[in-house]
Amino acid sequence: MNQNGPTSDERLWAMLAHLSALLGYVVLLGQYIAPLVIYLVYRERSRFVAFHALQALYFQLALLVLWVIVCIFAFITCGLGAILALVPIVLNLVFVLLAAIHANNGEWYELPIVGAIAKTSV
């Protein structure tokens, strides 16, 4: 990264790291593999891209934990809790798109909870 901020290439890859979460809707484990690969490729080249890729991966893992909780709750309530399945879907769409827009703008946007963890990890 130069003193003027992230390059257009860095902004593109940071945005793609976030948007790769949408792969999970069409490719098994795509939402985990794509940001991990982007992180591994860019961790030495760009702190900006590494931060966004790691943050995208952490966010997807946090949503996985939320999915497990929702499934357990749905099982305990004999399916009535299944309505909560909309929560991770909406969170995923809203925060992925928001983070992708900020990354494309060259901003160090932090997602709730995982952003601070990712920032200290890169």
> Helix or strand or coil: residue 5?
strand
Which run of H or E residues covers position 110?
none
Query: What pLDDT does 72 receive?
Result: 93
pTM for this one? 0.89
Residues of the chain predicted below pLDDT 70: 1-3
Q: Could you tell me where the DSSP H helices lie in the chain?
A: 8-19, 30-42, 47-76, 86-104, 114-121
User: CA 87 → CA 22, 49, 55, 64, 84, distances in Å?
Assistant: 16, 28, 20, 12, 5
Q: How far apart are CA 42 and CA 54, in angstroms?
A: 10
Give, in degrees to the nearest 5, the angle at Cα 61 between 56 and 62: 95
d(CA 64, CA 67): 5
* pLDDT at position 2: 56
How high is the pLDDT of residue 84?
Answer: 86
pLDDT the model gives residue 3: 67
pLDDT at 78: 87
With beta carbons less than 8 A apart as the criterion, state whether 62 and 69 touch: no
